[in-house]
Amino acid sequence: MFHSQTYSANHHTPLPADLHLLSVQITAACGFPGFSAQAGILNYYRHDSSLGIHVDESELDHSRPLLSFSFGQSAIFLLGGVRREDPPTAMYMHSGDVMVMSGQSRLFYHAVPRIIPGPQGQTALAMEGCCMAFFSQDSTLGGVLSEEDWALCTRYIQSSRLNVTVRQVLGPGQRLPETPSPPQKTDASQVGGVPGQTSQWRKEEESSL
């Protein structure tokens, strides 16, 4: 979780090319051509992790969509409105799900109050028959990670959740400020609960179980 999320021209690393390409293709398919994947955040969730109510508004351009990729254990996602007091809608986010927040929803309040472990640590994709056999030597992914690395990743997501968000930071003609970037934390497991969560948000979480 970012305690103070800012962007600086002096503090950045290149976004992986394959993640950029995937994001561009998804946004184009959703009717948003010209998207530029300029920043990404990787959140790690343990079974007892949560992410508090917040709005992703640090980007300079809010007209472009925000993408969210989920891997591993399922989670309850609460999507509110433009005001903190707006009642949220609860939904599940399973492994392999992609969410595109665009238009007005780009600045909606949202939270992840709970992780929902699958039976014996299985992910939704595993229960649907997706397995390591997909990543055989015939796959184009075969040369990216070794079989040992894939096995390690598989074991990790059997008890954890990974969430990758991708966003465009700058609009046409905009530039990042050349100022130091503060320390950043993206480990959602460090958030002990949902700060400021209203009773309405708790009610929506409980009703979704």
| Chain segment 115-146, per-residue pLDDT in tens | 998 776 565 555 555 555 555 544 555 556 77
pLDDT tens digit sequence for 39-92: 898 999 998 999 989 888 888 778 899 999 999 999 999 999 999 999 999 999
Element of type H or E holding 92:
strand 89-93
For residue 57, being part of any structural domain is answered with yes
For residue 92, being part of any structural domain is answered with yes
- What range does the domain containing 88 cover? 17-207
pLDDT of residue 118: 76
Helical segments of 6-161, H only = 17-29, 124-127, 147-157
For residue 6, being part of any structural domain is answered with no
Q: Is 20 annotated as a binding residue?
A: no
- Overall domain count for the chain: 1
For residue 32, being part of any structural domain is answered with yes
Q: Is residue 24's pLDDT more than 60?
A: yes
Q: Which residue has the higher pLDDT, 50 or 4?
A: 50
For residue 10, being part of any structural domain is answered with no
Q: Is 149 annotated as a binding residue?
A: no
Q: Is 107 helix (H, G, I), strand (E, B) or coil?
A: helix
For residue 3, being part of any structural domain is answered with no
Its pTM stands at 0.73
pLDDT of residue 133: 53
CATH assignment at residue 167:
2.60.120.590
In this structure, of 146-150, 151-155, 182-186, the range with the lowest mean pLDDT score is 182-186
Q: Hey, CA dihedral for 7, 23, 50, 83, is it positive or negative?
A: positive
Q: What integer best gives the mean pLDDT of the chain? A: 77
For residue 137, being part of any structural domain is answered with yes
For residue 149, being part of any structural domain is answered with yes
